Amino acid sequence: MTKKLRKIGVLTSGGDSPGMNAAIRAVVRAAVYNDIEVDGIFQGYDGLIRGDFKRLNVRSVAKIIERGGTILKSARSEEFRTVEGRRKAFENLKEREIDALITIGGNGTFTGAHIFTEEYGIPVMGIPGTIDNDLYGTDSTIGFDTATNTVVEAVDKIRDTANSHNRLFFVEVMGRDSGFIALRAGIATGAIAVLLSEEEMSIDDLIGVLEKSAESNKTSSIVIVAEGDANGGAYEVARKVNERYAQYETRVTVLGHIQRGGTPSCWDRVLASRMGVAAVEGLIEGRTDVMIGICNDIETYTPLSEAIKEKFRLNKTELRIAKILSI
């Protein structure tokens, strides 16, 4: 028989993502619905170490489902990587009589949560909130859909001016270690090529693709470059292409952090709401050291160690059709 939960703590950590607020709201309301109190912890693990807690109730999370960012703020905590930092964090949880912790974030967040529960036995539940979509155990992470929609909207605008001037644009999108945003947005915007770390495309290959399309009278093109691509980012790719191929005038746009902000899409709001409720229900059932995910429309719990280790591979069909459709 699992111990009755009386109070849980919730925090957001790492890079923020649109939909984190919807997840916080769902956690608080599902907890209150089940007679469990909730403390919000500010600024991720740093706030846990400093003791920056605040009781949340159903009204404190009103009208946040539509807001980007995170009302709890976020941080990438260096101190939580230390034994001393985690000791302080645990002391604070004990003092506040918190029985379990929900962490909303990505890879780094879950690495910390996994070590923490191994050291102190406090139940932890992860909710995947990152625009990068690079976690195993869920079809989509919270924020990925909104971020890709932001990219698509921006690239559609760039396309207009690229067309008017017969230019080749290199557009850099986020994803230090993952090409999910690049691939998805590349398909949706009809990019001529997508450069990402998971499947290398050399400058020679890229020039080959550009030459072939010029033969069929293509006058302007968009190349999407993932931040983590091995060729060194959009400016570097543009420079290398310019050195050897003068068919087009080129321009570079780095989209940067606009991809992390803004109103969450309907998809991300619903995803976050489902995950928030399932996270609380999972803790009530006695689950710990796991990440809630949704695979094939079904809630699933994956051990944190697997979620962070097993890199979620790019969809092979998407990789294939991106090539077929860009000719």
- Tell me if 174 contacts ligand F6P by CB under 6 A: yes
Q: Is 224 helix (H, G, I), strand (E, B) or coil?
A: strand
Task: From the candidates 16, 39, 46, 132, give the one annotated as an active-site residue.
Answer: 132
Name which position in 27, 28, 89, 131 contacts ligand F6P (CB under 6 A): 131
C-alpha distances (whole Å) from 96 to each of 99, 141, 153 are 9, 30, 45
Name which position in 12, 74, 130, 189 contacts ligand F6P (CB under 6 A): 130
- Tell me if 206 contacts ligand F6P by CB under 6 A: no
- Tell me if 198 contacts ligand F6P by CB under 6 A: no
Name which position in 94, 176, 212, 323 contacts ligand F6P (CB under 6 A): 176
Buried b (16+ CB within 10 A) or exposed e, 136-146: bbbbbbbbbbb
- Tell me if 229 contacts ligand F6P by CB under 6 A: no
The C-alpha atoms of residue 250 and residue 325 are separated, in whole angstroms, by 22
Strand order in the sheet with 193-195: 193-195, 221-226, 167-173, 249-254
Helices (H) and strands (E) in the chain, counts: 11, 11
Name which position in 37, 132, 172, 289 contacts ligand F6P (CB under 6 A): 132
- Tell me if 185 contacts ligand F6P by CB under 6 A: no
Residue 132 annotated to the active site: yes
- Tell me if 159 contacts ligand F6P by CB under 6 A: no
Residue placing its CB nearer to ligand F6P in the complex, 92 or 150: 150
Q: Strand 298-303 vs strand 290-295: parallel, antiparallel, or unpaired? A: antiparallel
- Tell me if 175 contacts ligand F6P by CB under 6 A: yes
The C-alpha atoms of residue 174 and residue 228 are separated, in whole angstroms, by 8
Binding site for ligand F6P (CB under 6 A): 14-15, 130-132, 174-176, 227, 260
